[in-house]
Structure 1
Amino acid sequence: MDVFSNISGLSEDKLHEKFKLLRDEPYYAGAKRIIEEWTQDFHDRDNKIALEFQTTFHSSFWEFYLHAVFQRLGLNINEKYSRPDFIIDGEREFYVEAVVSEIKQGGTPESERSPNDILSMLEPIQTDKEFSLLIDEAVVRHSNSIYSKLKKYNGYTNNKGKWVGGYKSCDWINDSKPYIVALSSYDQIQYGKEYIYSMFALLYGLYYSPERDQYEKRDYVKKPNTDSNIQIGIFNAEEMKDISAIIFTNALTLGKLSSLSKSTGHDLAHVLNVRYDREAPHYKIHEVSSDHPEDLLDGLYVFHNPNAKIKFECEEIKSNHLVEFSLDSVGIGMEGGRAPIVARYCSPTGHALRDLLMSTAASNYNKTIAYDLIKAD
């Protein structure tokens, strides 16, 4: 599939800005090659993915990435049926529906991202107020996205009062197998700073305070700029038992493509990842290069539903050391040997200031002037 070829009748003004950057800008030549690699054997089951990639971008970008991930894990993707988005065959059969969280109507568009927004990736969220402004918006957007895909699975009554059957009513779906929602965040300009905080709050009801550096249990957050309460800890809700887990990332950006390109050879981008390490200092600086690459699977997380009717277990995920989170009576459990990506800074000019940028990021996150480099596998 050539997702960059011209589509008859599609005018230039209808194209998404990120698509045009990948198609036209020499800076993104390596990133464009990554997309071409991901899509060369992608099977377009409903004959519209190229159009969506060029016009709305994010949802198809996410599907291309997930397809590459499942191939990397060695999973067998059943291409026969058009829904849900991914049917994984084999001994550990499961189903995946992909969704993205977009910026709300009337919200500040990504085109208004400033140099200060980019530089802010070198510093953590400092105050509870700043945290709530970011995370509460993310919680609202992600909640809407997840519930929309739960309806797709179980069925729903549309606005005309007609019942629409869900995926589990399809002959090819075995409802004794896990159903997974895969969510990628693009919900606001600074979605790259969400890390795992939005999912901890939304799914488990664990709300972080940067001022106290601890989590607290909450039942709801306020929808930004309203008095409406939005339920969090939704994995405790009865209707959520049909979702076995959430696959999540907030790190699938054009910067991710540049980082992967940088990891396999020359690329114009300068990429710094701030990664969490269990050993102190906990925030290590990863300068991406072919010697110290970023992996396809870095920045991807699995959040298990402790109350799911059908538990999700995948040996291919465990053997590839994806980061998995679970909740039990003791607290949050974390598995997987990959150091999570807390933030990514990507710039065409960062090479000239590399030492300053690296020390600044490390001192901001670790609250010390010292820093260690992390060498990713």
Structure 2
Amino acid sequence: MKEITELRFNAIAGYARDPRAVLTGEEVAYYEAEDGSILGLIIRDRTDDDFAGMAFGRDAKLRFRWTSMTDFLDSQEKARDALAELLTNLLGEPPEFHHQGDEKGAPVDFFTPLHLPEALHPDFRKIASESVFFPARGIIEPMMRWHEDLDGNFVEQFQSTAFDQRIWELYLFAVLTELGFALDTAHAIPDFIGGSLFGSIAIEAVTVGPTVHGANIIPPPPTDTEQQMEAYLSDYMPIKFGSPLFSKLKKKYWEKEQIAGVPLVFAIADFSSPGSMVHSRSALERYLYGYSYEATHDEQGKAAGKPIKITEHRWGDKVVPSGFFDIPEAQHVSAVISTTAGTISKFNRMGVLAGFDAGDVMMMRTGTVVDRDPAATFPLVFKAIVNADGYSESWVEGLNVYHNPRAVIPLDEDLIPGAAHHHCDDEGNWTSTAPEFHPLASTTEMIGGADVAQALAEFNGPAIKFWKKP
């Protein structure tokens, strides 16, 4: 057997973990059989301070689950040797040895097309066929075997009409799993109900799609000039965010018995046009709290923002009141969460980090990150080589949590550690707490062939670099 990273183990078998297990056992090492058919885990008993090895094999639905374990031993080295012997013995067992008896239905091949080629989503075709997206496919496949298709149409829509929406749901599933939530699979509404050691949460996924007239997609307005971009962020995008959020509000999820007393969160992603999410974060913040900020300086001369209350957003003949959290019924929504990272590029990067082969392709990630300098008026720019030693990333990285100041059930920040948490009071005073490295937006470039050597030579440094905007 070979030792693997925690991230790889989590990508393949982490969905089987009971969040309560951390109370009794500490995970100390992870392993994989050479053929990848069996995984191993060594734990330390927190009470007795001894060690044991656990083996995970594929059940009847091809999900890795616990099947057997070693005795508890007085050292990690002895537990490792015992685990190696256990895995060797298990390699001789038939596949049925690992079946649990509680599986329902047959395993699904998520990448076998269910539609004619012309009906498949372009991004699905990329994942299913292009080698540069094999890392994304590698990390999505085991994840989707655990994602319960309560609506009955997840795979069909993932391949065709709702690829972006389904990728967003998979991203949220990955975040919740990473944060230690056990998910309730008995209810289809809302999308996720989870419980962790820190409490429970209910999440409904929301997406912003393109404007459609009949069968035609209406392109977004131009953003070539500073004035055009300001209008786009001040009015066009707040209206785009407002429409699906208000529609979700009318469904009154808080009246569902299964989430009584649980904080309800709307998780929204912008897929209104290619690359739009890179720019639209400020528009969401403006719409949620109903404030814009005029650049000024405080008494010490430091850059500051003067809050200005917004009453409405107007674009053409559309007028939407500003301030989602000001809507009376929105008091039942504890927070809105969002990120620019719920895309196929995220899955591709995480796939590389989890050890799924990217071939000879190098991934270069470029973006902006929060500048910790109190005098900073712009974010830092960063560039990173995803394949390089020293690069790390988590699913929750870059997630923003916008807390509702009027929430009937406030959301405890401890439920979503690793995210940036934002608060805004009735006077528009804004406070945020964020991790040391908190990306605001990024793009990922795939570099292959002879260009790899040139890119590495130009980068010439650590896995990630930072610099200030000129």
SS of the counterpart of 1:348? strand
Task: Look at both structures and tell me which one has the larger radius of gyration over its CA atoms.
Answer: 2
- Are 1:231 and 2:321 an aligned pair? yes
Whether the 8 Å contact between 2:350 and 2:393 is mirrored in structure 1 is yes
Residue type of the alignment partner of 1:191? S
Residue type of the alignment partner of 1:340? H
Distance change >3 Å, CA 215–CA 40, structure 1 → 2? farther
Alignment counterpart, residue 438 of structure 2, candidates 324, 327, 340: 340
Instruction: Quote the residue 1:248 is aligned against.
Output: 338
Instruction: Quote the residue 1:40 is aligned against.
Output: 145
Instruction: Quote the residue 1:173 is aligned against.
Output: 259
Instruction: Quote the residue 1:81 is aligned against.
Output: 187
Whether the 8 Å contact between 1:180 and 1:245 is mirrored in structure 2 is yes
1:54-203 correspondence to structure 2 within 5 Å: 54-55=159-160, 56-89=162-195, 92-105=199-212, 106-107=216-217, 127-134=226-233, 136-152=235-251, 154=252, 167-174=253-260, 176-194=261-279, 196-203=281-288
- Are 1:207 and 2:292 an aligned pair? yes
Distance change >3 Å, CA 38–CA 245, structure 1 → 2? same
Whether the 8 Å contact between 1:222 and 1:230 is mirrored in structure 2 is yes
Alignment counterpart, residue 271 of structure 1, candidates 348, 353, 365: 365
Instruction: Quote the residue 1:157 is aligned against.
Output: none
My pick for the range that moved more, 69-78 or 264-273, is: 264-273
Whether the 8 Å contact between 1:92 and 1:314 is mirrored in structure 2 is no
Residue type of the alignment partner of 2:228? K
Cα distance in 2 for residues equivalent to 1:214 and 1:355 = 41
1:315-344 alpha-carbon deviations (Å, 9 max, x no partner): 2413xx211111135721112315332331
My pick for the range that moved more, 231-240 or 275-284, is: 275-284
Q: TM (normalized to structure 1)?
A: 0.78
Alignment counterpart, residue 121 of structure 2, candidates 7, 16, 23: 16
Residue type of the alignment partner of 1:325? H
SS of the counterpart of 1:230? strand
Instruction: Quote the residue 1:372 is aligned against.
Output: none
Q: How many residues are aligned here?
A: 334
Distance change >3 Å, CA 135–CA 61, structure 1 → 2? farther
Q: CA deviation at 1:169?
A: 4.0
Residue type of the alignment partner of 2:239? V
Instruction: Quote the residue 2:17 is aligned against.
Output: none
Identical amino acids, percent of aligned pairs? 22
Cα distance in 2 for residues equivalent to 1:257 and 1:276 = 22
1:278-293 correspondence to structure 2 within 5 Å: 278-279=372-373, 282-289=379-386, 290-293=389-392
Distance change >3 Å, CA 76–CA 135, structure 1 → 2? farther
SS of the counterpart of 1:273? strand
Q: CA deviation at 1:102?
A: 0.8
1:287-326 correspondence to structure 2 within 5 Å: 287-289=384-386, 290-318=389-417, 321-326=418-423
Question: Which structure has more strand as a fraction of its residues?
Answer: 2
Whether the 8 Å contact between 1:62 and 1:98 is mirrored in structure 2 is yes
Cα distance in 1 for residues equivalent to 2:352 and 2:309 = 41
My pick for the range that moved more, 53-62 or 133-142, is: 133-142
Cα distance in 2 for residues equivalent to 1:346 and 1:333 = 30
1:9-45 alpha-carbon deviations (Å, 9 max, x no partner): x222211111111111111111211212321311111
Distance change >3 Å, CA 285–CA 12, structure 1 → 2? same
Whether the 8 Å contact between 2:313 and 2:322 is mirrored in structure 1 is no
SS of the counterpart of 2:172? helix
My pick for the range that moved more, 90-99 or 78-87, is: 90-99
SS of the counterpart of 1:201? helix
SS of the counterpart of 1:217? strand
Cα distance in 2 for residues equivalent to 1:316 and 1:170 = 21
Q: CA deviation at 1:109?
A: 6.3
SS of the counterpart of 1:60? helix
Give the gaps of 5 or more residues in structure 1.
Answer: 111-116, 155-166, 369-377
Cα distance in 2 for residues equivalent to 1:256 and 1:215 = 35
Distance change >3 Å, CA 316–CA 169, structure 1 → 2? closer
Give the gaps of 5 or more residues in structure 2.
Answer: 1-107, 297-302
Distance change >3 Å, CA 222–CA 46, structure 1 → 2? closer
Cα distance in 2 for residues equivalent to 1:20 and 1:109 = 23
Distance change >3 Å, CA 59–CA 181, structure 1 → 2? same
Cα distance in 1 for residues equivalent to 2:257 and 2:328 = 25
Q: TM (normalized to structure 2)?
A: 0.63
